Chain A
């Protein structure tokens, strides 16, 4: 046997590889933001109609008059002390603002992402079982629509229909303005607000997972070891879930992991359309306001989440396929 705990060794190696990755992400993020045209001082100055002297004063205050590499050095040093800087626009520490917004995004994302992944896989398996039936063709067609639809457009359609026309669900925000009693009514209130953005969020992801699962299942079901499984006298369910699905899941897990990044990007649209008080909307606001420390902070958090998602993907992959950890 190759090593006693191949999976553990593999996981530790992957985690160690992630650390320098994050460092480079920080450097690149910083460089890109500062190379982009525009300047937070100009934005603030224009909003406050400041004199050229006040503008220079603002630049000095935010350290923007120093050379870029000095600014980067200062930024990295502060990062080491968990100081993500001070938001020019929100006038408070970046970390605080982000931590304020993070739970809302996590609630929306975790709900939508996990339900969409699960449903995508289950529907994909069912479709592969009934390949080329009418239902399968319809599901494929529907998934093509879901996959191609722009998120913000779908969001607006859902608002028009369910919030404005039927008046079943709220169209904006995370809580009711009137205030609800704490406890179960409050939970229910959040769930009602959650439903539409979660569906919007989940559609693209679910259709993608569905299509990959269906395709991979069809491919796997044609493989030789499926014949072995059937020749053992296993019933169809066992063959489908115990033998085919586990092999078909490998690429699906990869796609889910990669898709995490796109879903993060999608949160900008979803949260903006639905006024969801999360990170996505914060990104949008901060970019418009040229709030460099804020944008950098968000990029850092988002990058770390994506690196973490990839890390989890890699480890899951190795758990599903023993060949990965052994090689």
Chain B
């Protein structure tokens, strides 16, 4: 009734999500107490290295985590409905319509023996009560929307006949064909040429304006999100270590890991002799360090960092950091 503006804006709210994987060498705490929010029409990024658990977070949100995964705790509210409590059929109804996903590698994420158009039409036919002809024209519209130059030709092509950029456009068309309110893009440009990367990012931004969907972008490339996202979550070893709006985060990173990430990006403005990196290795997923998981690589490490994991500190104005330096 008297909903606060924040509530009406809220689209996705994940709280204390834990997804553990049972692997032969032990238990991988891939997602370990993650909380995050995406508001309507907003672009939010989840940034982390490979293996940080960001893809597992995304897969858990649409409940397509692998069979070896166990969801130990958490709540995933999409439009105030807890996705973790839905039965399989209702979850299927939501996928594609309310929440859709674009994946990393357009080479392998399209079915090689099905025509591109048919793969997209399938989503429309699954979720809407339309004829095949109507579905076809909707797909052609979607193709045009994502900037495919000759929609009819692409419709009848098999994936192997299309370029990488074109395939990614087909996958994006597939994701937006039923106008989802949340689009999750998991490393949508990683497998593409640099020139195509910019085009795809621009396309995602353009579509967001047109379709008014929220974008949840998962990437390891912090440079990529600067232009396109409103807020950023930084993830390290299964946990969110920092959260801020994009401008603040770039201007004033708090967590030593975020600092390291920003330092190791290249920019044409700064000439560097030696390419900066973060010292050390990503921890072994089945054997996480005690205390703060970043402490073996942290330049500011204190005694307490080795003993206890840091609390998530609220710095006001929506900023969050999990680090003993700010306690």
On chain A, the residues within 8 Å of B89 by CB distance are 235
Establish whether residues B174 and A322, one from each chain, have CB atoms under 8 Å apart when the complex forms.
no
Closest chain-A Cβ to B245's Cβ sits at a distance in Å of: 29
In contact, A233 and B127 (Cβ under 8 angstroms): yes
Residues of chain A with a CB closer than 8 A to B123's CB: 232-233
Measured CB to CB, the nearest residue on chain A to B118 is A242
Interface string of A198-232 (1 = CB under 8 A from B): 00000000000000000000000001110111111
B109 within 8 A of A: yes
Bound together, the chains give a CA A322 to CA B101 distance in angstroms of 26
* A321–B161 CB distance below 8 A: no
Contacts of A232 in B (CB 8 A): 95-96, 100, 122-123, 126, 174
Q: B107 to chain A: closest CB distance in Å?
A: 9
Chain B residues with Cβ below 8 Å from A9 are none
Q: Are A231 and B92 in contact (CB under 8 A)?
A: no
Interface contacts (Cβ under 8 Å), in number, total: 81
B202 within 8 A of A: no
Q: A228-B103, A230-B64, A231-B62 are in contact. Are A247 and B96 (CB under 8 A)?
A: no
Q: Which residue of A lies closest to B153 (CB)?
A: A1
What is the chain B residue whose CB lies nearest that of A247?
B113
For the complex, give the distance between the alpha carbons of A2 and B157 in Å. 11
Q: Is B84 an interface residue (CB 8 A)?
A: no
Counting CB contacts under 8 A, is B171 at the interface? yes
Among A230, A235, A321: residue with most chain B CB under 10 A: A230
Note all chain A residues with C-beta closer than 8 A to B95. 230-233
Report the nearest A residue to B92, measured CB to CB: A233
Say if the beta carbon of B111 comes within 8 Å of chain A. yes
Contacts of B97 in A (CB 8 A): 233
A243, B119: Cα distance in complex, Å: 10
- CA distance in complex: A220, B157 (Å): 22
- How would residues 98 to 112 of chain B score, 1 for a CB under 8 Å from any chain A CB and 0 otherwise? 001101010011111
Asked whether, in the complex, the Cβ of A247 is within 8 Å of the Cβ of B92, the reply is no
Once the chains are docked, how many angstroms separate the CA of A50 from the CA of B227? 101
Residue of A nearest to B158 (CB): A322
- In whole angstroms, how far apart are the Cα atoms of A321 and B158 in the complex? 10
Whether B160 sits at the interface, judged by CB under 8 Å, is: yes
Contacting B at CB under 8 A, from A311-327, are 320-323, 326
CA of A127 to CA of B62, assembled, Å: 26
Residues from chain B with a CB closer than 8 A to the CB of A1 are: 153, 157, 161
| Proximity bits, A120-132, B CB within 8 Å = 1, else 0 | 0000000000000
Closest approach, in angstroms, between the C-beta of B69 and any C-beta of chain A? 13
CB <8 Å contact, B64 and A243: no
- Cβ of A78 within 8 Å of any chain B Cβ, yes or no, is no
Tell me whether A231 and B111 are in contact (CB under 8 A): no
B182-206 at interface with A (beta carbon < 8 Å): none
Please pick, from A234, A246, A320, the residue contacting B122 in the complex, using a CB distance under 8 A: A234
B110 neighbours in A (Cβ, 8 Å): 225, 228
Interface string of B47-69 (1 = CB under 8 A from A): 00000000000010010100000
Listed A/B pairs (14) with beta-carbon separation below 8 Å = A1-B153, A1-B161, A223-B108, A224-B108, A224-B109, A228-B103, A228-B111, A232-B122, A232-B174, A233-B123, A233-B126, A320-B113, A321-B112, A326-B158
9 further interface pairs, Cβ-Cβ under 8 Å (given A1-B161, A230-B64, A233-B126): A228-B119, A228-B171, A231-B64, A231-B96, A232-B96, A232-B174, A246-B114, A247-B111, A323-B112
Contacts from A to B (Cβ < 8 Å): 1-2, 223-225, 227-236, 238, 242-243, 246-247, 320-323, 326
